[in-house]
Amino acid sequence: MTLKYATKLENPATDYLAHLSIDCVVFGFHDNQLKVLLLKSKYLDEWSLPGGFVMHSETVEQAARRTLEERTGATDIFMQQFRVFSNPERKNPIFQKENMLKANLKMNNFDWLNQRFVSIGFYALVEFSKVDAAPDIYSEECVWKNVDQVGRLMMDHNQILTDALETLRLQLRHQPIGYNLLPNKFTMPELQKLYETILGRELDRRNFQRKILSYKIVKRLPERRTGVAYKAPYLYRFDLEEYNKALREGLSGDW
């Protein structure tokens, strides 16, 4: 994959705040699977979450949005800050001078990267088809992986992913998660599968449909899904006004 986005790091100390970084857990939904965007290191056999640093001239939120837009090619991304990761032993062992030189990165101060970083975690929800994923200057690949097939990530990134997924579950009743992960038109089975994947358990089909319809957050369209093996299900669309109203009050009851 061609590297489309690169951050100038010849002298990062003049551009970025010391000891502060951003880690982004980017969720997408495709083929009835909840997926997360991961990067593969150029010079070590490690995978990681997308991340970056905070410029002197920007807020933490602006840094996160810049990082997300650079990695996904998408704008107007739904994102939420969810936790600060500040273990005293937290620093990246791959940021050594020899590794930077292998990656052909020119820097005046390699020690700037080889320090403890407190990282602010954000999770983001993106519509899978609108993402044009691209690696950063440390990476050779940027790909989607199913959340249950991630494997070992560098540093504490597995913990960051676990915490982001737990936050997603807790906020399922109060954030427009379905609206940001599903395409404009979707079927009820697709919506149920999204909820099941996030919650990590199966849901009763009739109860789920009755619950969703009782919230009045979706509208059934006259169209049906084409190209399916069985009876074509109706397509639905979120009623965003009703959805936001319901979320302010909180979606009540168990799924």
Query: Is residue 175 included in any domain, yes or no?
Result: no
Query: Would residue 4 count as lying in a domain?
Result: no
In a domain, 20, yes or no: yes
Same domain, 158 and 72: yes
Residue 159 falls inside a structural domain: yes
Residues 44 and 112 in one domain: yes
**Residue 160's pLDDT is what?**
97
> Residue 73: inside a domain, yes or no?
yes
Q: Identify the domain containing residue 23 by its residue range.
A: 12-170
Counted domains in the chain:
2
Is the domain of 238 the same as that of 143?
A: no
222/116 same-domain check: no
Q: What is the pLDDT of residues 52-82, one digit of tens each?
A: 899 999 999 999 999 888 888 888 889 999 9
Q: What is the CATH number of the domain that holds 192?
A: 1.10.10.10
**How far is 138 from 116, CA to CA, in rounded Å?**
18
* CATH number of the domain encompassing residue 83: 3.90.79.10
Top-confidence residue, 92 or 38 = 38
Residues 31 and 61 in one domain: yes
6 inside domain: no
Residue 3: the pLDDT is 36
What is the helix, strand, coil percentage profile of the chain, to 5? Answer: 35, 30, 40
Is position 254 within any domain? no
By C-alpha distance, which of 93, 53, 92 is closest to 70?
53
- The answer to whether residue 144 is domain-embedded is yes
- Based on the domain organization, do 107 and 217 belong to the same domain? no
Structure tokens at 58: 């920007």
Same domain, 133 and 20: yes
Last residue of a domain, one of 120, 144, 170: 170
Does position 166 have pLDDT exceeding 80, yes or no? yes
Distance CA 140, CA 10 (A): 20
Q: Is the pLDDT of residue 100 over 70?
A: no
CB 237 within 8 A of CB 184: yes
Question: What's the CA angle centered on 42, arms 38 and 45, to 5 degrees?
Answer: 70
In this structure, which long-range contacts are made by residues 173-179, counting pairs with CB atoms below 8 Å and at least 24 apart in sequence? 173/247, 173/250, 173/251, 173/252, 174/247, 174/250, 174/251, 175/78, 175/80, 175/247, 176/78, 176/238, 176/240, 176/243, 176/244, 176/247, 177/125, 178/238, 179/238, 179/240, 179/243
Q: Identify the H or E element spanning 120.
A: strand 118-125
For 113-144, how does the pLDDT look when each residue is reduced to its tens digit (9 = 90+)?
778 889 999 999 988 888 888 777 778 888 99
> Torsions phi, psi of 119, nearest 5?
-115, 140
Predicted TM-score (pTM) of the model is 0.84
pLDDT band at 22 (very low <50, low <70, confident <90, very high): very high
For residue 3, which phi and psi values (nearest 5 degrees)?
A: -75, 115
Residue ending a domain, among 142, 170, 198, is 170
- DSSP characters for 171-210? TTTTS-HHHHHS-SSEEHHHHHHHHHHHHTS---HHHHHH
